[in-house]
Structure 1
Amino acid sequence: MTEITIRHNPARERFEVLVAGNPIGKAAYKTYDGGGSPQRIFYHTVINEEYGGQGLAGKLAAVALDDTVEAGLGIVPVCPYIKKFLVKHLEYAGSTVAVTPAHLQFLEDALAARAARA
């Protein structure tokens, strides 16, 4: 079986799933500090289609959320997959922050600024 690795890539604000060193999935976030405590807004999780059905998205989510909690950051679940994952994994409830309009505006502005730079 091919070696699967999950790593944090803070420079790109994402957690990545790698197969044989090649990225095949990610859980992207933006760091937010406007809520009184530092938080990670998770907004997109994806696994390449050919790797679907292997439980990789769940493993990726667990690593990303564990790292977020260990770093003392709140989890802001905008991404539909992360929202669904959190419903089934109540151990993260104490670290989950409800999505607010301020989170969504921050995310929209951050993604628009990134697109403008590209």
Structure 2
Amino acid sequence: MLLVSVQPGQEVMETIATQLAERGVTDGAVVSLIGAVDECCISNMPADDASKDILTEYRQPFELTGTGEIKDGKVHLHVVLGREGDAALAGHLHWARVETFFVNAYVLAL
């Protein structure tokens, strides 16, 4: 099991991809993702066309949990984001910035 840690001032997807590439990981499973982000972009599919994405950006703090995979060096994450008012959002993570806390990814390399 590998631990990839994203610290304040870093972007989640880029940092995870870079740290895994440095360790020679091109394929694997992100079995757990936990932490908090300060802004992010997620996508979901429109009801009438599963081949398209609706991207939405958020500029507020979120608790974050998720899972994913690394395939041919590309990181693919699905996340659940908890925000003020005990509301949750879910989707495919495109980017996220850590400014206040951290995000840890626990990865099993294949």
TM-score (norm 1): 0.27
The structure whose RCO (Cα within 8 Å, separation 6+) is larger is 2
Larger strand fraction of residues: 2
TM-score (norm 2): 0.28
